[in-house]
Amino acid sequence: MQLWDSYSLGEGRKLIDGCKSIEPFTPNDSFQFAVELKETNELIGDLYFKMDEAGKQAEIGYTFAPKFQGQGLASEAVRKLIDYAFKEKGLHRIYGVTDPRHSRSIAMMKRMGMRQEAHFKESLWFKGTWADDVVFAILEKEWR
């Protein structure tokens, strides 16, 4: 359930090249972390992380190839990123936003200990129709 309909190879290369010039965890900037399978170094997904201006809050997102979903791999990667952001980078709050129909994404955020903070009705024009957004978040003190 991405905002885009398709992503060309050229767009992918542009995104990757753009990340090469960005330091992860830069306030007021976003970064895409590649996730690869340990055994084969195969790219299996990515994690989106966008810091706020003060560098104390961030939005997290994730996309994994269908054949690697449902195996705990995304949970492992998301857990490690959240843990690092709180413990090593001193973030205060991390949140995720999804469509309330996206039950797998909601389940992921709940597995991370995130709680629902908001449900915005018809707040996003999404692929030709209005869609709701739900926001889940966790504070550093809740993560510990």
CA distance 79 to 62: 11
Would the pTM count as exceeding 0.85? yes
- Given a cut of 70, the residues of the chain with pLDDT beneath it are 1-7, 15, 19
pLDDT tens-digit readout, 87-103: 999 999 999 999 999 99
pLDDT computed for residue 144 by the predictor: 80
CA distances from 1 to 39, 86, 139 (A): 28, 27, 25
DSSP state of 125: E
Q: Domains in the chain, start-ordered, CATH in brackets?
A: 9-143 (3.40.630.30)
Q: Which stretch of DSSP H or E encloses residue 139?
A: strand 129-139
Give residue-wise pLDDT tens across range 57-72: 999 999 999 999 999 9
Give the pLDDT confidence score for residue 11 in this predicted structure. 77
Q: Which pLDDT value is given to residue 36?
A: 94
